[in-house]
């Protein structure tokens, strides 16, 4: 059966949602060979994933996940797909701390680097921030700090069957798209970055189907999966009222344009230092891009009515010290048990 599905994708034919569920189950259950798995992922990437294929994969994987019972009237994530190959520091992680410091409960989903140098889990480990290994501890961390960093393998253990194949491929696949869609917490709102601008409306439709009340899908200028400072960014806003597209420039948010190389990151230790400098109030391009991306979270949450107001709220979160306090609260929470760090192995 899988061979027929693989052949269909290689022939650039789209799969129905049910077909994708069956194929994804075969992949993650390890019932097909690594060669077939790699071929399927590569062929799907080459063809281009559809709404039905993404939705089918998400439904199957969420059924197999360890869910986090963290029900809130507002709970957000701002995870991006990765795969933009830009080599920036962990912008969305920095923005998550800023948003949490501004009073928005954040459940930040992430993983180790797959096609880049430093993933969200890598930098969290370098920051000394626990990634809870159980749904119950995740809820406790969220209660204590207003932000919980969710390490994907803790809540999607079945994905270990494809982890090595993804690593060896070294290129973005449907799993890059799926990552932010597989948050095990019951999100109400979401900001999600995508590496391909053509995917933004499609992903917005998927998020609506998953029950998000409101959100934004971002495709940054120059191929970023986050809001960039180099030029106009494409955003797709969605709510129960529908989907609409817009463009936002740094100037509209009261910020200046910056070159891509000013946002460069490095190792997990180097990126952690950049984030700590941002949280400590250091001025510069790293702060500015964190402000812009945190502004999107404030906008989607309803706390801000415009980009400049969102930037102002983000600035206040940093300058008041509350963003840095979120990190310290997570560190304090982690120290309550000796084996808490790094908890991502």
pLDDT of 48-86, one tens digit each? 999 999 999 999 999 999 999 988 999 999 999 876 778
CATH number of 2-63: 1.20.970.10
Residue with tokens 């502004």: 295
CA gap 20, 54 in Å, rounded:
8
Q: Which residues pair with 233 in a beta bridge?
A: 248
pLDDT at 96: 98
The stretch 266-274 carries a mean pLDDT of: 95
Give residue 297's pLDDT band: very low, low, confident or very high (50, 70, 90): very high
pLDDT at 83: 67
Helices (H), the chain: 2-10, 17-28, 34-47, 51-63, 91-101, 120-127, 135-145, 152-155, 160-169, 174-181, 200-209, 268-279, 285-301, 307-319, 322-334
pLDDT at 72: 93
**Per this entry, what is the length of the chain?**
345
Can you say whether the dihedral through the CA atoms of 189, 194, 200, 205 is positive or negative? negative
Angle at 195 between CA 133 and CA 298, to 5 degrees: 65
Beta-carbon count within 10 A of 206 CB: 23
- CATH 1.20.970.10 residue ranges of the chain are 2-63
CA gap 83, 63 in Å, rounded:
25
CA gap 7, 193 in Å, rounded:
31
- CATH 3.40.1030.10 residue ranges of the chain are 76-330
> Mean pLDDT over all residues of the chain?
93
Contact (CB, 8 A) for 154 and 66: yes
Contact (CB, 8 A) for 95 and 294: yes
**Going edge to edge, which strands form the sheet with 214-219?**
147-151, 106-110, 76-77, 189-193, 214-219, 233-239, 242-248
Range with the lowest mean pLDDT among 56-65, 76-85, 180-189, 197-206? 76-85
Contact (CB, 8 A) for 171 and 196: no
The answer to whether the bond into 342 is cis (omega within 30° of 0) is yes
pLDDT at 335: 85
Give residue 114's pLDDT band: very low, low, confident or very high (50, 70, 90): low
pLDDT at 341: 45
Contact (CB, 8 A) for 239 and 213: yes
Contact (CB, 8 A) for 81 and 115: no
Give residue 27's pLDDT band: very low, low, confident or very high (50, 70, 90): very high
Contact (CB, 8 A) for 162 and 60: no
Beta-carbon count within 10 A of 131 CB: 28
pLDDT at 340: 45
User: What is the CATH architecture of 76-330?
Assistant: 3-Layer(aba) Sandwich (3.40)
| E-strand stretches of 230-285 | 233-239, 242-248
Question: What pLDDT, in 10s, does the model give residues 140-153?
Answer: 999 999 999 999 99
* H-helix or E-strand spanning residue 214: strand 214-219
Q: Which residues pair with 106 in a beta bridge?
A: 76, 147
Contact (CB, 8 A) for 119 and 111: yes
CA gap 313, 126 in Å, rounded:
27
Contact (CB, 8 A) for 330 and 141: yes
> Token pair for residue 257?
């344009």
């Amino acid at each position: 059966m899988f061979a027929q599905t693989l052949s269909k994708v290689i022939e650039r034919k789209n799969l129905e949602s049910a077909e994708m569920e069956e194929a994804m189950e075969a992949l993650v259950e390890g019932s097909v060979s690594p060669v077939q798995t790699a071929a399927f992922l590569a062929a799907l990437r080459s063809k281009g994933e559809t709404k039905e294929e993404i939705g089918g994969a998400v439904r199957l994987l969420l059924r197999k996940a360890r869910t986090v019972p963290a029900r809130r009237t507002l709970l957000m994530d701002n995870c991006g797909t990765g795969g933009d190959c830009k080599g920036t520091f962990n912008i969305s992680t920095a923005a998550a701390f800023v948003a949490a410091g501004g009073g928005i409960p954040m459940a930040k989903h992430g993983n180790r680097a797959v096609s880049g140098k430093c993933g969200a889990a890598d930098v969290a480990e370098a920051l000394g921030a626990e990634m809870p290994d159980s749904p119950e501890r995740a809820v406790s961390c969220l209660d204590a700090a207003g932000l919980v960093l969710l390490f994907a393998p803790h809540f999607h253990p079945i994905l270990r069957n494809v982890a090595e194949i993804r690593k060896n491929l070294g290129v973005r696949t449907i799993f890059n798209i799926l990552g932010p869609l597989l948050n095990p917490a019951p999100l109400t709102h979401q900001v999600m970055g995508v590496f391909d601008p053509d995917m933004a409306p499609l992903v917005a439709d998927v998020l609506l189907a998953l029950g998000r009340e409101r959100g934004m899908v971002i495709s940054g200028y120059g191929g970023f999966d986050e809001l960039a400072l180099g030029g106009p960014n494409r955003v797709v806003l969605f709510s129960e009222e529908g989907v609409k597209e817009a463009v936002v420039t740094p100037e509209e948010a009261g910020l200046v344009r910056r070159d891509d190389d000013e946002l460069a990151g490095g190792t997990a230790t180097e990126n952690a230092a950049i984030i700590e400098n941002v949280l400590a109030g250091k001025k510069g391009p790293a702060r500015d891009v964190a402000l812009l991306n945190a502004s999107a979270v404030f906008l989607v949450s309803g706390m801000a009515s415009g980009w400049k107001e969102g930037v102002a709220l983000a600035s206040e979160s940093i300058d008041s010290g509350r963003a840095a306090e979120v990190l310290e609260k997570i560190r304090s929470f982690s120290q309550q048990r000796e084996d808490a760090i790094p908890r991502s192995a």
